[in-house]
Amino acid sequence: MKIRRKLPKPSRAGRPLYLIGYSFTPPTCSDLQSWFDLEYGGPIRLRNEPGESTHLGQDSSAVLASHGPWSASFRISISSAEANEWRDRLGWGHSHAGQVVATSTSPGNACDQILFAARLAKGLTLLTDGTAYDVSTQAYLNPSDWKDLPLEQFRISDHLRIEQAEADRAGHDWFLTLGLAKFGLEELETFTPAGLPSQPIIERLTEIAQETLRLGHQPKVGTRVTMPSLGLSIQVVRHRNVARAGIPLLLREIAWHSLAERDQS
């Protein structure tokens, strides 16, 4: 797909978690409310964001959705100018777009907040028969893809993926997480000797990302942290900024060793 170098400027609500492109008549807030209550046992409550004076969900207005203690903001239809920018960047043919934006998160509620936002994105994709784009993981989700993601409970694999890419270090492979940024954390990266099986590395990096989410914070560069549940000692090597597909990424390079190896050394 055609990729532009720069992202469209963030709206007042902030950088979206999901863009939902569609080409037909948009659903109403009542449609989304009914779908959510049926799918996830509501009640979901919808109200205009502060400062919005239009009818709920109309004229590109932002709507605040809440379900119990969790909340997220969405717009069923963003402005034509924004929709065109995203269409050009993402290379899809959809003439309209909506978006889902997370509200503020804390280490204690981040997983539930992100799960709730994903449920809204799923609902908007199914109701519009459109395509969702996960901005952090850079993944496209069609209605058939969402059917494989029930989102009944939080699973890190639904919100994060590990990418293997060409490394700028000779003789090495590059692995990085895409998705931790949703939770207010920096992405993780690691470099391994070229030719090693990739699946064990992907699984291990996923486990480290999940444990990092549970801890709710990341260690500073130059420090080492023990993750007893994984039997690992994690060292943070460096911090850097890179851009992939026009998206700025904050990365922390890590290396790990088994605790058994450290005890023997």
pLDDT in tens, 57-116: 666 789 999 999 999 999 999 999 999 999 999 999 999 999 999 887 777 789 999 999
Strand partners, 226: 233
Which residues, other chains included, contact 45 with Cβ-Cβ below 8 Å and sequence gap of 6+?
Answer: 65, 66, 67
> pLDDT > 90: what percent of the chain?
77
**pLDDT tops 80 at residue 254:** yes
Instruction: Kindly list the distances between the CA atom of residue 106 and the CA atoms of 45, 48, 102, 113, 229, in Å, as whole numbers in the listed order.
Output: 21, 23, 12, 9, 23
> What is the pLDDT, as a whole number, of residue 12?
46
Q: Residues 61, 54: contact at Cβ < 8 Å?
A: yes
pTM of the model: 0.89
> What is the pLDDT, as a whole number, of residue 49?
77
Assign residue 209 a region (left: φ > 0; alpha: ψ between -120 and 50; beta: otherwise). alpha
**pLDDT tops 70 at residue 7:** no
> What is the pLDDT, as a whole number, of residue 104?
79
Task: Give the count of beta carbons closer than 10 Å to the beta carbon of residue 57.
Answer: 24
Q: Which residue has the tokens 């964001």?
A: 49
